[in-house]
């Protein structure tokens, strides 16, 4: 499977220096696994038009965390930080994100860490649910993934893969340059029954 974004694998996840808080829980390795889940969800749901927006949302979602505890504002902080980084807008444009996409990306990133859900009729609900589910699948690293909290049937079917991806890669791939390339290669080779 090829990622749906036409960029080199190494550019699909944030480099270490972009994270406000260096973290093993919410840093590059987490975002890389969330990216794998996001790309797989695009394929599973068939919502290919969401690929560039979901990629940008995953890329941004934890950049502005200042700690690893419960935090309901880091999504809004990430978007505020993004507004001051024109180089990211340029990167996202190269990957297929249009200027008109930023309202929906902003909604998804801000809401990914809020407890309240968007109403199913909200025009940004689909992207937000994809981001929340891709992020939620990596809760296996915390040992508290509850499939009942996932929003899409396709996400619930991916729980065995989420466990296999984490168990097979955690601590085995150094973060930094080359991390996502190695993770993607290993993820592509995982054989997991997702019924």
Is residue 194 in some structural domain? no
CATH value at residue 61: 1.10.3210
DSSP 51: H
Of 70, 159, 61, whose CA–CA distance to 112 is shortest? 61
Is residue 3 in some structural domain? no
Helix/strand/coil for 4: coil
Q: Whole domain around residue 120: which residue ranges? A: 9-189
Of 150, 113, 118, 124, whose CA–CA distance to 50 is shortest? 124
Is residue 151 in some structural domain? yes
109 and 60 Cβ atoms separated by less than 8 Å: yes
pLDDT for residue 134: 98
Number of domains within the chain = 1
Is residue 144 in some structural domain? yes
104 and 124 Cβ atoms separated by less than 8 Å: yes
130 and 54 Cβ atoms separated by less than 8 Å: yes
Is residue 35 in some structural domain? yes
DSSP 84: T
Is residue 1 in some structural domain? no
Instruction: Give yes or no for residue 179 having a pLDDT over 80.
Output: yes
pLDDT tens per residue, range 45-87: 999 999 999 999 999 999 999 999 999 999 999 999 999 999 9
Is residue 178 in some structural domain? yes
30 is written with which tokens? 């987490």
Report residue 193's pLDDT band, with 50, 70 and 90 as the boundaries. low
Is residue 195 in some structural domain? no
Query: What backbone torsions phi and psi does residue 130 show, to the nearest 5 degrees?
Result: -65, -45
pLDDT tens per residue, range 100-110: 999 999 999 99
pLDDT tens per residue, range 131-156: 999 999 999 999 999 999 999 999 99
SS3 content of the chain, % helix, strand, coil (to 5): 60, 0, 40
Q: How many CA atoms lie within 13 A of 97 on its CB side?
A: 24
Residue found under tokens 């979901």: 54
């Amino acid at each position: 499977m090829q990622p749906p974004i036409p960029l080199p694998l190494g550019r699909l996840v944030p480099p270490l220096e972009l994270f406000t808080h260096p973290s093993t829980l919410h840093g590059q390795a987490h975002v890389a696994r969330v990216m794998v889940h996001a790309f797989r969800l695009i394929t599973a749901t068939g919502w290919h038009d969401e690929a560039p927006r979901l990629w940008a949302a995953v890329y941004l979602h934890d950049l502005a965390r200042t700690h690893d505890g419960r935090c309901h504002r880091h999504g809004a902080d990430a978007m505020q930080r993004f507004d001051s980084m024109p180089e990211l807008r340029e990167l996202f444009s190269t990957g297929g994100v249009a200027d008109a996409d930023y309202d929906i990306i902003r909604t998804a990133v801000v809401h990914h860490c809020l407890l309240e859900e968007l109403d199913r009729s909200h025009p940004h609900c689909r992207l937000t649910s994809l981001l929340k589910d891709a992020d939620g699948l990596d809760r296996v690293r915390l040992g508290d993934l509850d499939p009942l909290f996932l929003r899409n049937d396709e996400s619930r079917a991916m729980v065995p893969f989420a466990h296999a991806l984490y168990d097979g890669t955690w601590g085995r791939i150094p973060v930094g340059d080359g991390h996502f390339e190695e993770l993607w290669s290993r993820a592509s080779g995982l054989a997991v029954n997702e019924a």
